[in-house]
Amino acid sequence: MSNAGSIRLVPAPSTSTTADDDGFAAIQVVLREREARDRRWWDDMRDCFAEDSSVALTWYQGSGHGFVDGSAAMAQGGIPSRHRLSPPVVRVAGDRAVISLPLAIENYDTINGVECVLSTYARHLYRVERIGGAWKIVQLDAIYERDELNPSVPGQTARIDPSELEGVRTPYRLLTWKLRAAGYDIPQDLPGDDRPEHVAQMYHEAFAWAGIPQP
């Protein structure tokens, strides 16, 4: 029997939010925060953080909104930097997500007449939560890996007195040197790959907060 002219019922698209949709939205708030930081879009950056959020980096430990104010003051004070991002990893559980974002923090300076780029490699560990229907950053921590200093023009040499690096942790020693010279007090107990137990505990706490099984 021919089925010509028969009607085939097609299910209507689901309007429910999928895990993929949630993951994309959670990642976007993290990427928006980084873009806004580099572009100096302070209102947009502030909108990415929850009211009771917290941030812990080399030069700042406090609330998310205070971090925005501090970033604006740092930019106004003439400390230029940019962030080169690598692909993030997101894990979502309901209204909470944990996002790991590898990145390089680039600072630009002139050292003894030599233009240089100071690159600090790290991972930002975000806790993100859906609040009032919108994903917001509730906690941001940095895990430091290593840093390096290179002249902008090949063939030149930038020199730092080794005594100025004494007592400074290896994963972020050059960034510490740079920021201390600018008047910032940089703690030496931050998460870094030279202290794997500390880093493992950070991930454990983040996954537990989101209700995500430990990988």
H or E segment to which residue 196 belongs: helix 196-210
| pLDDT of res. 7 | 53
Separation CA 195–CA 169 (nearest Å) = 10
Over residues 177-197, the pLDDT tens digits come to 999 999 999 999 999 999 999
* pTM, 2 dp: 0.88
- Residue linked to tokens 């290593």: 146
Note the pLDDT of residue 20.
84
| Domain presence at residue 119 | yes
* In-domain check, residue 13: no
Determine the pLDDT at residue 192.
98
Quote the pLDDT of residue 79: 81
Beta strands (DSSP E) in 44-133 are 49-56, 61-63, 81-85, 89-93, 96-111, 114-131
Interval 105-125: pLDDT, tens: 999 989 889 999 999 999 999
* In-domain check, residue 9: no
Residue 159 has φ and ψ, to the nearest 5°, of -115, 135
Domain membership of residue 173 (yes or no) is yes
Query: Does position 80 have pLDDT exceeding 90, yes or no?
Result: no
pLDDT at 6 over 70: no
* Residue 10, domain member (yes or no): no
Rg (CA), the chain: 22
As for how many domains the chain has, the answer is 1
CATH of the domain at 102: 3.10.450.50
Residue 7 lies in a domain: no
Q: Between the CA of residue 26 and those of 34, 59, 81, 91, 173, what are the distances in Å? A: 13, 26, 25, 9, 32
